[in-house]
Structure 1
Amino acid sequence: GMSGMVAFVGAGCGPVGRRGAATRLARAAPAARVNAARVGVRTLRAQQQPDGKRSSSSSTELHAAANGNGNGAGASKSWSQKLKEQMPTKVERKKLVPLGLMFFMILFNYTILRDTKDVLVVTAAGAEIIPFLKTYCNLPGAIGFTLLYSTLANKLTREQLFYACLIPFVAFFVLFGFAMYPNTAALHPVDTVAWLASRLPESFAAPLAILKNWTFALFYTAAELWGSVVVSVLFWGFANEVTSVKEAEKYYPLFGLGANVALIFSGQYVRFVSDVRRNLPAGVDGWAHSLKYLMAAIGVGGAIIGALYHHMTNNVLKDPEVIAAAAGSETAAMKKKKKKKASGGQTKMGIAESAKYLASSSYIRNLALLVIAYGMSINIVEVTWKSRLRAAFPDPNDYSTFMGNFSSATGTFTFMMMLAGRFIFQKFGWGTAAMVTPVVLGITGLLFFGLTLFGPQVAPLISALGTTPLMMAVLVGAAQNVSSKGSKYALFDPCKEMAYIPLDDEQRLKGKAAVDVIGNPLGKSGGSFIQQVLIFSLGSLAASTPYLAAILGVITFMWIAAARNLSVQFAEKQAAIARENELEEEALNGGSASPYLQPQGRSAGSSA
């Protein structure tokens, strides 16, 4: 759910190394020079003498402007002027403040749901259930929602569609906390599953656990969909619709920082609520009590999100100042893009078309491999880590407390990585930034698997550190997840989006469609499918651990190879764009028909 946001954070990370800087300068030079020359022409015309002769001072200013050497309006600005330009105007604040609050509340809720869903399914049925949930619950749920959303989008207004998606989610989560969970004994078919388990092989334990804990599986699926639906579809779809490109470039990175603040706050709220049970009298279900607080927060957060959206659509977007600013910021290129969109210019491809396009382009193929490798790698490590986490924290409240601290640590580390990411992009370039995530995930993942496999052998050393092999594996796994996700949000996602920039419009549209249709689902379900095969074959997740470690090593190696290949291709495309812009600049300087764009000492010719 955070990948769309981080893409914009990456867009604000500055030039992509020396080559990236050269490319951007090459792109900017022709446009800047033409604009400067146009300013000079207008200045000259305004200062023409009655007899039609130009003053010497005007001529000098014109030539300086045409050659990019003017020292007037283009002079360096003071830091206070630059800071003032970066601050949102009064009209911008009317949109950005409620949008920022919406994003904060959506991610506050998402962190609570993400932590709670793991507590429910892992403590009740074990981490072995997660690969089956992702394949047989999340995937059908996503397909079903897509079909339903497409149908509703053709029948409802934008505002009605937003509420039609938001309200059922919030209502379900509140209902789960206050009605479904307290009555799980009546809702869960325990006896039926026990009868089936006595007649089926042991490898069917995970699917039977889904059936036995079907309310938890439903909660898990709904929580996963919140990230896709409310974050990606509802919020970013609305934000991109009401925000100009100029505003997005300036302020979307702030949304990224706000997202990590939401992670920290919500993680601490989960920890606080989970610790409330310590003050409860004996005999009271502490987790049921904590769950009511958590789901109440979801209800309050959902109400705030709905109120902010209502304020945006009924007050902000109807404000005359906002309307005038939006109309003024719409360029001819944007109008042309809208016209193309209205005439069916968008590129949407099905699975067969996406696979064909992937096969035809090595650049897009490498990009898709990056996405697939990340999804498979993090899934392989995360499920095994959560199985160790359950062994260390079998009580739901203890598990939830740990996950709250984990979310806060993830937010803090990602915040720091985003600050470091700017330096990495500027100092080392795209290639190095793209290599950080696979290297971090591979090293920490193999270290975690090593502790899991060779815990007894290193037990004396770990005991000397004052802990146990199990707790050490949990802590190393937590560090692995925090570092992997932090580097993913701060570096991997921006790199992925930057890789589309050197492509032409058709390649960019078709390439992104192909990666979205093939890469994302394959990455998410690929790791789950591998684990399912191993669990069915070997009987348990623990027995599969050596094979998962070997598979992680192979995937990481392929990921690094794809990143290196894509780095070379990315640099080549940037260099090609730079050469093309240099040729355009030479043609502009040498072949201009305007006399005001010619250097001093040359005949002006006819009047402009």
Structure 2
Amino acid sequence: MLQKLRAFFWPIQKVELKKVIPMFLLFFFFVFNYTILKDISEPLIVTARGSGAESIAFLKLWGTLPLALLFMFVYSKLSNRISKRALFYSIITFFISFYLLFGFVLYPLKDVLHPHAFADKLEAFLPKGLSGGVAVIRNWTFSLFYALSELWGTVGVSFLFWGFSNDTTKVSESKRFYSLFGIGAALAMMVAGPTNIYFSNLGKLALVDSWGVTLKYLMTTLFISGLSIIGVYYWINRYVLTDKRFKVAEKNTTTKEEKQKLSIREALKFILKSRYLLLIAGVVMGYSISVSFADIVWKNQLKQQFPDPCDYSAFIGYFSSMVSVLTLIFLFIGGGVVRKFGWKKAALTTPLVLLVAGVGSFGFIIFKDQLNGFVGFFGTSAIVMAIVFGTIQNALAKCFKFSFYEPTKEMVYIPLDNESRTKGKAAIDILVTKLSKAGGAFFLQALIIIFGSLAAIVPFIALILFGVIALWISSVVFLNKRFLKLTRCEIPKVAITNNIKIDSKTRKTEDKIFARKKSFAASKAVLKKARKKRKTPVS
């Protein structure tokens, strides 16, 4: 019984810790930076002069999308000229250098750099629905920081970490490792939340520009964490991947001439020509748009409650701490769900949960007048209940991202050949993610311009959200059939009731030394038993 529980919650053998622990630390630092940046960039934009939650919709289309396209162009050129390791170091160095520059140079000079007079003139004759776009121009350094912070989540977490993990992990290992890698993400959020709260409260003690002081502390922390990413990545390549037990054979590697001819357009053709990649794109699009729509409505309500950036950032810090605890709990469950119930049920968990929470969140906003009398009986209001359900929805979206969504999404890349994994994944994780958010932002902008405010378009957002979740669910169902066909194995409901037997079979190919010791011990036991039977009593 204890062995079955251990195999369900911790299916890692001692010899595998040499690989799991460094990957755990690498993911920890990636997600730590991601959480800090998310907690900073949103209060920075939402509470800026003349800005609000509406500005996020404009930024996703006119900020993050152009930068994502630019990154894809630069990455495509550099990937044909320098090695993967050099490219990894270059990208990380660029990001952490910019964050340090923002905290110590750009933010202190914001009053000089921001064109407030020009923005006031624009706001005077443009429609009210375009005020969010004017705020993006008015606070352009904040907008640049927000766009690059969003790009860290896509480039850093989705592309660099998971791309590296897919290149160095086997399918058999991914079913046991990927959910446990996410423990690093949960602990990162658990540390990032209190770190954000501590520096936000410390900044309040400053007599002048408390938010600027907080930013300097946090940007320095991000820089140190970025250097740690470089150090751990070097250690894995130097001491882990050189171990024969952890080597992964290359799949259908392309020649140098073919590699040099591959461009962004050809990377996009991978998605259009392959139905398998199209289905992955459907899953990624579903998550990106759903979380984006739910998040922007929630942020609009939070701004009314926390107008001060330090207070807003501190609340997000508490929120991140809550999410980290939930993520840590679900991570241990998520890996077991994949191994026991199969990929399909694990991948469907995230959209179904977001659908249920979304019904509660948007229901209390749309039908607030009808529900006020009912919830008033319990001493609250429909708006408060909408905020509660919105917080639950966003918390589950973030914790399920690392426990169910990311591990199941990354598993489906592993059976692909090397070229499809690298170029196809880059196109999906960067372009599809940003195009999805930008497309959603475009609809939001159009609706805001027509109806004048974000609050007036909540019913339309709800309809689009539920439609996208339906598309997400159907993509998972069809993708499951193709994934099982590629891996040539299906995990039935009763599969892995005895994880030890399956793990031992896997380890026979992965660790020859361990297998020989086990075989020798079994043979010795059989011989000993045979000798006892043949032994005659001595008179």
Q: Which bracket does the TM-score occupy, shorter chain normalised?
A: 0.7 to 0.9
Query: Which of 465, 477, 484 is equivalent to 2:397?
Result: 484
Number of the residue aligned with 1:581: none
Quote the sequence identity (%).
Answer: 38
2-structure distance, mates of 1:311, 1:506: 25
Hey, what does 2:515 align to over in structure 1?
none
The match for 1:88 is 15
Say which of 117, 121, 145 aligns to 2:45. Answer: 121
**2:222 match:** 298
Q: In the alignment, is the contact (CA less than 8 A) between 1:374 and 1:523 conserved in 2?
A: no
* Residue of structure 2 in register with 1:268 after alignment: 194
1:454: Cα distance to partner?
3.1
What is the TM-score of this pair, normalised by structure 2? 0.76
Q: Which deviates more, 223-232 or 473-482? A: 223-232
> Which of 438, 455, 466 is equivalent to 1:525?
438
Cα 1:210–1:401 change in 2 (3 A) is same
* Residue aligning to 2:150: 224
Cα gap change, 1:237 to 1:356, in 2 (>3 Å) = closer
2: CA distance, partners of 1:339 / 1:200: 54
Question: In the alignment, which residue of structure 1 is the partner of 2:210?
Answer: 286
For the residue of structure 2 that corresponds to 1:383, the secondary structure is helix
Q: Distance in 2 between matches of 1:427 and 1:268?
A: 35
1:350 pairs, out of 259, 266, 276, with: 266
**For 2:367 and 2:490, how far apart are their aligned partners in 1?**
52
Aligned mates of 1:530, 1:367 — CA distance in 2: 23
Deviation, 1:284, is: 3.6
Could you tell me how far 1:257 is from its partner in structure 2?
A: 1.1
Shift in Å, 1:570:
6.2
How far off is 1:522 after superposition? 3.9
1:325 partner amino acid: D
Q: Root-mean-square deviation (CA), in Å?
A: 4.0
What CA distance in whole angstroms lies between the structure 2 residues aligned with 1:150 and 1:514? 10
Aligned with 1:378 (options 258, 277, 291) = 291
In the alignment, structure 2 segments of 5+ residues that lack a partner are: 492-539
Q: 1:45-75: CA deviations, max 9, x gaps?
A: xxxxxxxxxxxxxxxxxxxxxxxxxxxxxxx
**What secondary structure sits across from 2:71 in the alignment?**
helix
- 1:553 has 2:466 as partner: yes
Gap runs ≥5 in structure 1: 1-75, 579-608
Match of 2:447 in 1: 534
> What does 1:418-437 align with in structure 2 at a 5 Å threshold?
418-437=331-350
Change (3 A) 1:293 1:468: farther
- State which of 405, 418, 422 in structure 1 corresponds to 2:318: 405
**SS state of the match for residue 536, structure 1?**
helix
Tell me which of 41, 54, 71 is aligned to 1:145: 71
Distance 1:457 1:481, change over 3 A: same
* 1:468-479 matches, cutoff 5 A: 468-479=381-392
Counterpart code for 2:356: I
**Displacement, 1:563?**
3.9
Q: CA deviation at 1:518?
A: 7.0
Distance across 1 between alignment mates of 2:127 and 2:178: 52
Q: Per-residue deviation at 1:239?
A: 5.5
Shift of 1:109: 1.6
Once the two structures are superposed, residues 462-493 of structure 1 have per-residue CA deviations (whole angstroms, 9 ceiling, x without a partner) of 45545554443222211001113333432334
CA contact (8 A) 2:346 2:408 kept: yes
Q: For 1:441, give the aligned amino acid.
A: L
Q: 2:93 aligned to 142, 167, 180, which one? A: 167
Aligned-residue offset at 1:137:
0.9
Task: Find the counterpart in structure 1 of residue 300 from structure 2.
Answer: 387
Aligned-pair distance for 1:533? Answer: 1.6
> Counterpart of 1:194?
120
- Count of aligned pairs between the two proteins: 482
SS at match of 2:136: helix
Displacement of 1:163: 3.9
8 Å CA contact retained: 2:286, 2:472: yes
1:110 aligns with 2:34: yes
Rg larger for: 1
Moved more, 239-248 or 134-143: 239-248
CA displacement, residues 234-269 of structure 1 (integer Å, 9 cap, x when unaligned): 445555667788877765543221111111111121
Between stretches 560-569 and 449-458, larger displacement belongs to: 560-569
Q: Answer whether contact 1:406 1:482 (CA < 8 A) is retained.
A: yes
- 1:394 aligned counterpart, secondary structure: coil
C-alpha change, 1:480 and 1:147, in structure 2 (3 Å) is same
Residues in 1 aligned to 2:286 and 2:173: alpha-carbon distance in whole angstroms: 33
Alignment partners' CA distance in 2, 1:382 and 1:183: 30
Farther-moved stretch of structure 1 (501-510 vs 236-245): 501-510
Identify the residue that residue 105 of structure 2 maps to in structure 1: 179
Question: Structure 2: how far apart are the matches of 1:575 and 1:301?
Answer: 40
